[in-house]
Amino acid sequence: MRSFQVRQPGAPLELAEQPTPQPTGTEVLLKVIAAGVCHSDLHLSDGYFDLGGGKRMSLTDRGMKLPVTLGHENVGDVVALGPQASGVKVGDRRLAHPWIGCGTCAVCAREEENLCRAMRSLGVFSHGGYSDYLMVPHPRYLIDIGDLPPAQVAPLACSGVTTYGALKKVGPTLKTEPTVIIGAGGLGLMCIGVHKAMGGHSTIVVDIDAGKRDAARRAGAGVVIDGTAPDAAAQVIAATGGAGAWAVIDLVGSSATARLGVDSLIKGGKYIIVGLYGGDVTLSLPPIPMRALTVQGSYVGSLPEMRELIELVRRTGLPPVPVATRPLAEVNAALSDLRAGKIVGRVVLTPAG
Ligand SMILES: [Zn+2]
Ligand SMILES: [Zn+2]
């Protein structure tokens, strides 16, 4: 099998050709049909996150072991099962939930594996789907996608469930007030679509790029705002009706967007940070209690959230995120296009051709 792996942080992914593994125990082997290319793959191949002020968080220090095959947004066909794997059969087409915990701790027992302290996430801490085959540790992580098209479904495994998890944190005002979304890349367009599917009131979308703002408008954003405008926060507040936003979902996560997000909130508002662009910010503390602000992080999503999302999409239809497919061998070109900001929507690799 061919796999594209991080061997050296900062270098292009390297092709590894190895024998196809055979599943043991509860494992299930998928033939990969669709593997989405995600912005976080850039950080994973660089080997670090930028913490601001010149500080970095090294991914190998956090438990990433090299070489590792990237790719955490995967749909595949079951081709082999270990002797203890049940609930799926050869030929079944499934989305693989990648945010897998240790499976034994208290956090995993309450089905919040995405918060486990010993995660085994596919395409991050264990081999992912930039490969002909993907090994999934247990059938419970496989989700039936029905007749939905694999290339459009694959991004739900990361950008879909990440935005769904963040939107759930908004709470009841999701349906009664506008939600602000900062960033209109692949994640932003997904967020607009999932917000609509969840019955959200309306969206105010901020991006610094005119092309991405147009894409957001086409995807159904109620209002779009240029994040580079010196009065961007005032524009966001005006778009909410003048008092500020009940919820800002920051899909960028830079120093500038954090400032903008917090400055756009109403009394009692929530700033929910998802993006991992990097940086830092200094906040005055008294306004946090006095204005009862919430600053909350949101990291991917849980297995129950993934199941809810797929059920929602099977009921309401796929979010209208533009998807372009490319062969597996073009993975490095796709990553450099993503780094250069040239991709609107999502690129999905098709290892099976
Ligand atoms: Zn991702
Ligand atoms: Zn755990």
| pLDDT surpassing 90 at residue 320 | no
**Of the bound ligands, which one is closest to the alpha carbon of residue 106?**
2
Please tell me the distance between residue 286's alpha carbon and the centre of ligand 1 in angstroms: 35
Please tell me the distance between residue 140's alpha carbon and the centre of ligand 2 in angstroms: 15
Please tell me the distance between residue 141's alpha carbon and the centre of ligand 2 in angstroms: 14
What predicted TM-score, i.e. pTM, was given to this entire model? 0.93
CB 124 within 8 A of CB 16: no
Ligand 2 (ion): which residues have CB within 5 A? 101-102, 105, 108, 116
The predicted-structure confidence for 277-296, as pLDDT tens digits, reads as follows 889 999 999 999 999 999 99
pLDDT value, residue 186: 84
Angstrom distance (rounded) from CA 35 to CA 274: 21
Please tell me the distance between residue 145's alpha carbon and the centre of ligand 1 in angstroms: 19
The predicted-structure confidence for 61-107, as pLDDT tens digits, reads as follows 888 899 999 999 999 999 999 999 999 999 999 999 999 999 999 99
Ligand 1 (ion): which residues have CB within 5 A? 38, 40, 158
Task: Please list, in sequence order, all residues whose beta carbon lies within 8 angstroms of the beta carbon of residue 71, skipping any fewer than 6 positions away.
Answer: 4, 32, 35, 36, 37, 41, 122, 123, 128, 129, 130, 131, 134, 349
Q: Which position has the token pair 């469930």?
A: 161
Question: Please, which pLDDT band fits residue 49 given cuts at 50, 70 and 90?
Answer: confident
**Of the bound ligands, which one is closest to the alpha carbon of residue 102?**
2
pLDDT value, residue 110: 96
Q: What is the mean pLDDT of the chain?
A: 95
**What average pLDDT does range 200-229 have in this prediction?**
96
Which three-class secondary structure state does DSSP give residue 199? coil
